[in-house]
Amino acid sequence: MTDEIYKPGLEGVIAGDTDIAAVEQTSLSYRGYGIGDLATKTTFEEVAHLLLYGELPNSSQLSEFRSTLAQYRALPPELVQALRLIPTDVGMMDVLRTGVSMAGHFDPVKGDSADDLRRRSVWLMAVTGGVVSARHRLITNKEPLDPKPGLSHAAQILYQALGEDPDETATRLLDLTLILYAEHEYNASTFATRVVASTLSDMVSGIVTGIGTLKGPLHGGANEAAMNMLLQFDSPAAASAWIHEAFVKKHKVMGFGHRVYKNGDHRAFILEDELRTLAAKKDQMNWMEIYDAIKDPMVNEKKIFPNVDYPCGLTYYLLGLPVDMYTPLFVCSRVTGWCAHFIEQATNNRLIRPRSRYTGPAAREVTPIGQRS
């Protein structure tokens, strides 16, 4: 092959153009807006509109967006029935992958124009939130709840999962994490989704692929893995001993490191501030001491910084959310980024089909079966 360009893991390789997000060492922006600005001045629904339609909504566009989302919230009864049939020990990400695939057979949006795809994206936002909440109810021996009119997307997920009107802090912090998780250019799951779009396959297949890719602990699964790590420790001393042993054994520490960010993840800085306030408010500073007992040596001794999944795991934990919902909640957010990328790819498409470098045996001849040893 001539002009061979090869980087393991495609590290640093530009694999396409995008107008949706820019990830830089010193900044993260969605369609030109800095993540800090979005985190303090918008809601998740506004960010979803920005990602899908290219601009932040005005008030009437936002109400239309929210009413479209509300219109799609009730899950088809056949889908709820399918969720009941899945064994209760099946992981929530697997259930979500199946749930979205099943929902695809009841897709209320017909057509594949850019407008149809945007509308289908809003429907997929509703479906992912609905499946996560319904599944949580079913595995805790409760019946799924009907959506409650008037709630924000974050509040609706909490209400339908936990069965109570969420408090203002829980709603705001879930909303914030949904904003922070919504989009991150060509990360693994988004790239996988774009590959699906590039074959002219359908959007539901793209989102199912995104869910399967996000599940891995090197990607979205890290928020659960990070919290499960913290749950092993009953004191900062135990955490400190563990991390120093992990250094010796060269173990990966979940919720740390990033393919692009080498001096810290902007989303983690934003969320960690909120987490400290939350822990103080809930009188749970013991958890911050354990959190810091892992973080400080990682940063000071290894120069490896927390990514967004590290503060997110503990934030969700202090909000009382079950650990198996953390990565599915990431899906409820990132579905907007995936859909925006699917649309961008589908509306300006070239098949994504890279090459590989062959490293197998040299050319050889087939030995007839009777003569093989």
The residues that touch ligand CMC, with contacts defined as CB under 6 A, are 9, 187, 218-220, 222, 252-259, 304, 307-309
Q: Which has the closest alpha carbon to 133: 85, 180, 92, 169?
A: 92
Q: Which is nearer to ligand CMC, 160 or 190 (CB)?
A: 190
Cα gap 26→44, rounded to integer Å: 23
Q: Letter for the amino acid at 135?
A: R
CB nearer ligand CMC, residue 166 or residue 210: 210
Question: Taking Cα atoms as reference points, which of 181, 208, 184, 191 lies closest to residue 10?
Answer: 191
Contact between residue 292 and residue 236 where contact means Cβ atoms under 8 Å apart: yes
Q: Determine the residue with CB nearest ligand CMC.
A: 257
> Which of the residues 219, 265, 266, 341 is marked catalytic?
219
Of 224 and 274, which CB lies nearer to ligand CMC in the complex structure? 224
| Distance in angstroms (rounded) separating the CA atoms of residues 313 and 290 | 13
Torsion over CA: 216, 274, 324, 48 (sign): negative
Q: Answer whether 230's CB lies under 8 Å from 290's CB.
A: yes
Q: Which is nearer to ligand CMC, 162 or 308 (CB)?
A: 308
In the complex, the smallest distance separating the C-beta of residue 110 from ligand CMC, rounded to whole angstroms, is 33
Tokens representing 259?
């393919």
Angle at 78 between CA 74 and CA 79, to 5 degrees: 65
**How far apart are CB 250 and ligand CMC at their closest, in Å?**
7
Rg of the chain over CA atoms, in angstroms? 22
What's phi and psi for 28, nearest 5 deg? -135, 130
CB 308 within 8 A of CB 181: yes
Measured CA to CA, the distance from residue 136 to residue 235 in angstroms comes to 30
CB of 148 to ligand CMC, least distance (A): 30
State yes or no: is 49 an active-site residue.
no
Integer Cα distance of 118 and 342 in angstroms = 10
Please identify which of the residues 49, 153, 258, 266 carries the catalytic annotation. Answer: 258
Q: In the complex, what is the shortest distance from the CB of residue 218 to ligand CMC, in angstroms, rounded to a whole number? A: 4
> Could you tell me the two tokens for 335?
């579905």
3-state helix, strand, coil in the chain (%, to 5): 60, 5, 35
Q: Kindly state the smallest distance separating residue 329's Cβ from ligand CMC, in Å.
A: 12
- The least CB distance from residue 108 to ligand CMC, in Å, is 31
Select 170 or 188, whichever has its Cβ closest to ligand CMC: 188
Active-site residue flag, 309: yes
219 catalytic? Reply is: yes
Task: Collect all residues with Cβ–Cβ distance below 8 Å to 34 and sequence separation of at least 6.
Answer: 27, 28
Q: Which helix (H) or strand (E) covers residue 203, if one does? A: helix 203-214
Min. distance of Cβ 370 from ligand CMC in angstroms?
47
Phi, psi dihedrals of residue 313, rounded to the nearest 5°: -55, -50
The residues assigned a catalytic role are: 219, 258, 309
